[in-house]
Structure 1
C-alpha cells in the first residue's frame, strides 16, 4: 500500500471516530422529559410521600367565608394536601385566612397551621397569599418573606417560605405567585430573578418550587415560546399544558408547579393531578367555590441530596 493510501485510510478512520464521538456526546447531553402520571381528583400519598398543592380561591373574603356551605367545602379541599398554597385572599379586615384555618381544624383529626403574607398589590384591591400545612408531616422553618421587588416587575410580589418534612430529609422553598393576567408574560419571565435571589440568600438549599396562579396560558402567555426564561430545559413544569385548571368552558392551564430539574426532579414522584371536585360532590354550585381548581404534585420525603 503506498503512502497516499495510508493517508486516505487514516483520514477515513479519524472521520469515523469523530462522528462517533459527536453522536455519543449528543446523546449524553440530551435530557428526556419523564412522563407524568395525571390524576383527576385529590392526591393520595404513601408514607414516604407528601402532596403539595396550589389553589386560587377566587375573591376569598368576607362574603365567601360567611357562606357556611362554601367555606366548609373549601376546608374539605384544603385538608387533602400536606401543604396548600392559596392565592387571592381579599379581606381588608384580614380575618379570612385565620377563619379558614379554624374551619380546616374543625375536623378533630386535623392539625394544620398557616403562614400568611402581608396584603400586596399596586391598587386598592390588594391580596394576601397563604400556606396551610399539616403539622403531622410538615415543619415550617421560621423563614418567610415577600420578594423585594425593587424594579416593580410584579403586581403582587411573590411570597416565599421554607419548609421541611418531619419524616425523611426533604427540605424545600416554596414561591407562591399570582401574576397579573395582562402582564403575565413579563412576570413569569421575571420569576428566574426570584430564583436567583433565593439562591443567593439560601445558597445551600437547592429545592425551589414555584407554584400558584401564573396565568400561564391562553392569550396571557405563549407556553410554546421556548426562548422564554422559564421554558428553558433546566426547568421542569409538573403541571403541563394538558391540565385544564379553570372552571371556564375554555381549556387553559393557568395554575402551575415548576422547579429546577437538576435539583428537584429526583424528589418528584412523577405524579401530578387536578382536583375537579364536581366528580365527587353533588348539590353545590362549584363556581361559587372558585373559578379555578386545585392542582398538585407529589414528592418523596427520603430522596433529597442537597
Structure 2
C-alpha cells in the first residue's frame, strides 16, 4: 500500500508537470498574393514563405491560385524539409470564385501542437461571398487539458467588402451551432479599410457593432507591404477567446525588416504582412470530456498497477499466520521495492524536467534568436475595443 501511495503521489506530480509544460498557441493569417506556379519557381521567395509558416502552430494561407492544386502541397514539402523540430501537415479547401480566377484557402499546422478534427466550406446559399469562408475545428494540444477552438478563414472581395463582412455574422452562428462553442476566431484579409471600406461604413456594419465580437487590429494599423497604409487583415474574436488572449501578442509580422528585404523583395513575397496572436490554455473554453479526466486517469492507473488484490483470504490458508522470518522477508522486499520505485520516480522527474526545459529553451530562447535576429520584425497593435473579463 505504501508503494501504491508513492505512485499516486507520482501521478499527481505528472499531472502538475504536464500543466507546467503548457505553451501558448501561436496562430497566424497570411495573404500570399497570387501564390501559384510562377511564385513557387522563385526559390528565395519560397524560402521566406517557409520561414514565415514555421513561425506558427497553425496559419491560414489565402490567395492560392493554382489550377493543378499541387503547389501548396509542394510548399508543405519545403516547410518540412527545412524544419528541424516539428512536422507540419495541411488541410486545403476547394477552389472558389465566380470567375475563372479561382482561389483556395489552406491551413498549415504543427502535428505536435495542433490537431484538425473537422473542416468545411461555408454553404453560401445566398451567394454572399466570392470565396466562401473555410472553417476548421482545431484541437489545441498545447493546453492542459486539451481544448478545442474554431477558426474561420476569409478573403473578402474588395468591391463587396461591406456585404461580405456583414455576412460573416451568420457564418459565425452556423459554426457556433455546429460545434457547440463560442471559442471562435474569424481571420484573414477582410479588405476592411481605405477605399474598400470607409470609416463611416465600417462603424455602421452589424459585424463591427455586434457586442459578441472584438476586432483586434484597428483601422490605424497597416497590414500591407505596399506604399499604402491600410488595415486590410484582421482578427475578430469572441469574448471567450479574448479571455484566453495573451496580452501584447496581437502583432503584425514585418518580415521585410526581419529578413532585411528591400521593398521590391518584400512585394515579391506578398503585398500583405502576416498577422498573429497567441492564446494561453483557456480556463473556460470547450474542453473535450475525455481530456478533463486525463490527470485522474494517470493517478488511478499508476496506483492500480501495484495495489494488491483485496479479495478475502480463506481462513484455512497456511499463510494466515506470518512468522518472524516472513516479517524479515517483507522488510527486504519492501526495501527493494522502495529503492526501485525511488529510482524510477527520479528518472521520470529528470525526463519531465528535461522536456519542460527543452520546450522553454526552444520556445523562448532559441526560437527568439532564430526568428527575430534583428528584433525589428514585429509591430504590436492595440485592440479597437476592450471587453471586461
- After TM superposition, is the score higher than 0.5? yes
1:164-217: CA deviation from partner (whole Å, max 9, x where unpaired)? 111323311111100110001110010001011112222x22211100100010
Taking structure 2 as the reference length, the TM-score comes to 0.64
Give the Cα separation in 2 of the matches to 1:116 and 1:130: 4
Task: Give SS of 1:196's match.
Answer: helix
What is the aligned partner in structure 2 of residue 258 from structure 1?
236
Partner of 1:236: 214
Q: How far does the alpha carbon of each residue in 1:77-120 deviate from its partner, in whole angstroms, 9 at most, with x for none?
A: 11001110000000000011101111111123231110000101
Q: Is the 8 A contact 1:104 1:110 kept in 2?
A: no
Q: 2:92 aligned with 1:116, yes or no?
A: yes
CA distance in 2, matches of 1:254, 1:82: 23
Match of residue 205 from structure 1: 181
* CA–CA distance in structure 2, aligned partners of residues 155 and 269 of structure 1: 33
The equivalences for 1:31-42 within 5 A come to none
Instruction: Give the Cα–Cα distance (whole angstroms) in 1 for the partners of residues 231 and 282 of structure 2.
Output: 30
Gaps of 5+ in 1: 1-45
What residue in structure 2 maps to residue 97 of structure 1? 72
Q: Is the 8 A contact 1:189 1:230 kept in 2?
A: yes
Partner of 1:171: 148
Counterpart CA distance in 1 for 2:159 and 2:132 is 15
Do the aligned partners of 2:120 and 2:136 also contact (CA within 8 Å) in 1? yes
Written as runs of structure 1 = structure 2, the 5 A alignment for 1:76-155 is: 76-107=51-82, 108-141=84-117, 143-155=118-130
Would you say the 8 A contact 1:48–1:302 is kept in 2?
no
* Structure 2 contact 148–285 (Cα < 8 Å) conserved: no
Q: Which protein has the bigger helix share?
A: 2
Distance 1:47 1:277 in 2: 27
1:247 pairs with 196, 207, 225, which one? Answer: 225
Distance 1:223 1:205 in 2: 31
- Bigger strand fraction: 1
Q: Please, which of 9, 19, 34 is the counterpart of residue 59 of structure 1?
A: 34
TM-score by length of structure 1 reads: 0.81
Contact kept? 2:97, 2:130, Cα under 8 Å: yes
Q: Within 2, Cα distance between the matches of 1:167 and 1:304?
A: 15
Matches of 1:56 and 1:230, distance apart in 2: 22
Distance 1:223 1:134, change over 3 A: farther
CA RMSD of aligned residues (A): 1.5
Aligned length: 258
Q: Is the contact made by 1:273 and 1:296 (CA closer than 8 Å) also made in structure 2? A: yes
CA offsets 1:220-277 (integer angstroms, 9 cap, x no match) = 123554331111232111222232000121210000111122x221111132101111
**CA–CA distance in 1 between the matches of 2:142 and 2:266?**
35
Q: Could you list the runs of 5+ residues in structure 2 that have no partner in the other structure? A: 1-20, 287-389
1:189 aligns to what? 166
Q: Which of these residues, 54, 71, 75, is aligned with residue 50 of structure 2?
A: 75
